[in-house]
Structure 1
């Protein structure tokens, strides 16, 4: 069991380092002896879960993609009934997304019945800083982890409303923590508004959201819809915990 725990610890450290790291860095961060780390990493390389770069640094391997995709599909299947309820009540498209590395990936959606609606393809990857789901997840993380993640990803502007500095993002995350939900007010796409809440205790960090044209979304009462979203997120979290 100890070696399994150590293996997962090293994989998570590699992911936290942006997917590529030197053995000496793993030793410093984990406190494990270098021979132990080398033995575990060689096993991961031999099985395709890690690979050695020409620089002799080690990166996450391609076989992890299949595991991640399967886990995302399973997570999406659990989320769909909750998203369908959210769409039925609000009339807007509902999504679930998870943090994968430095980006947010959408894993499930319930589309709005309106002819003019927001459609986000399941599997789409976006930068966390420019989306309500991304900011909701970031708000659950310690400030130092947020800073490290954002430092690895250029905070490029998607629209003129996009937050593009780490300092401004920390201020935004404080507001999100205080009110319990995040807003994307035309930060990813002009004319689109989105509300999101984190799924408490979800693996890898997850959030659910509703999004739609700004003209309709401004008529939605946050006093009514946010408690609904928080209730659904808590129910989904409880189901995920029970199945673990």
Structure 2
């Protein structure tokens, strides 16, 4: 069966003169994107070429153009191609489903820890706050839902970046820069990569007064979803000691594990 089913064709009866219009290049792009969307680990250049019925050289030019616009990303180490972050803005329904699924966990965490809880997703070279459940305390640390924050200075950013290819992390940091938000902010890429290795070892990331001079935050990644996402707890550093951070991290990891083990939280439940 050919992967190039002419879904872009318009019925001849709907067109004056009975002609059928189909843009071959667009059909090939759709074939490439459909292939990438169905893959979890990524696809090879040959698989793309076969799906689009193109020579490898032409398939590479398609991929290069899509990568330039962030609709495709390539793993430098494996050479595999995956759906890129340019589709994040088009995945609003996936984001909404993720938010709806995770919100009860955020509320329970807020009630248990009495601090602000957050859900963040990578958007371009920043982190976007998809959901925020604010602490009921009068003094609290909270961002704004829909707001963006830096990848290098936030616990959410570290938790997400720790599970991206190193080449991708370097690219994102080169695009965004590493502005010193406070005196504690990591501003050197190699130091940041060393911090990400620590995150992978511990299973959680910490922003220790790196994004706000009087704030601390701890975050863990949500694995097994289509979106690069993480959960976090944030609070004023005066009442959120490093011992409190470690306790909160253990709780967060348990919650993230339950979310990961459940069906993909970006998928809507099947209708019966």
Matching residue of 1:6: 32
- Could you report, residue by residue, the CA deviation over 1:50-84 in whole angstroms, capped at 9, with x for unpaired residues? xxxxxxxxxxxxx9676233332222111110101
Alpha-carbon distance, 1:95 to partner = 0.1
Matched, 1:33 2:58: yes
Alpha-carbon distance, 1:35 to partner = 10
Change (3 A) 1:222 1:157: closer
Unaligned runs of at least 5 residues, structure 2: 5-27, 38-54, 72-85, 268-272
Matching residue of 2:133: 110
Change (3 A) 1:148 1:124: same
Change (3 A) 1:142 1:66: closer
Match of 1:202 among 221, 225, 229: 225
Match of 1:121 among 144, 153, 165: 144
Alignment: residue pair count:
206
**C-alpha contact (below 8 Å) 1:100/1:204 kept by paired residues:** no
Return the alpha-carbon distance in structure 1 between the equivalents of residues 244 and 203 of structure 2. Answer: 15
Return the alpha-carbon distance in structure 1 between the equivalents of residues 130 and 253 of structure 2. Answer: 19
Q: Superposition pairs for residues 1-244 of structure 1, below 5 Å?
A: 1=3, 3=28, 4-7=30-33, 31=56, 33=58, 37=62, 67-218=90-241, 220-241=243-264, 244=267
Return the alpha-carbon distance in structure 2 between the equivalents of residues 243 and 105 of structure 1. Answer: 16
Q: Secondary structure at the match of 1:216?
A: coil
Which is richer in helix? 1
Q: Secondary structure at the match of 1:115?
A: coil
Unaligned runs of at least 5 residues, structure 1: 12-29, 42-48, 50-62
Return the alpha-carbon distance in structure 1 between the equivalents of residues 266 and 141 of structure 2. Answer: 31
Alpha-carbon distance, 1:239 to partner = 3.6
Change (3 A) 1:66 1:170: closer
Between structure 1 and structure 2, the one with the greater Rg is 2
Deviating 4+ runs (over 4 angstroms): 8-11, 63-66
- Could you report, residue by residue, the CA deviation over 1:170-202 in whole angstroms, capped at 9, with x for unpaired residues? 111111111111111111111000000111122
Return the alpha-carbon distance in structure 2 between the equivalents of residues 8 and 188 of structure 1. Answer: 39
**C-alpha contact (below 8 Å) 1:77/1:108 kept by paired residues:** no
Change (3 A) 1:212 1:36: closer
Q: Secondary structure at the match of 2:136?
A: coil
Return the alpha-carbon distance in structure 2 between the equivalents of residues 175 and 65 of structure 1. Answer: 28
Q: Secondary structure at the match of 1:129?
A: coil
**C-alpha contact (below 8 Å) 1:202/1:240 kept by paired residues:** no
Report the TM-score, using the length of structure 2 for normalisation.
0.67
Change (3 A) 1:211 1:243: closer
Return the alpha-carbon distance in structure 2 between the equivalents of residues 151 and 89 of structure 1. Answer: 38
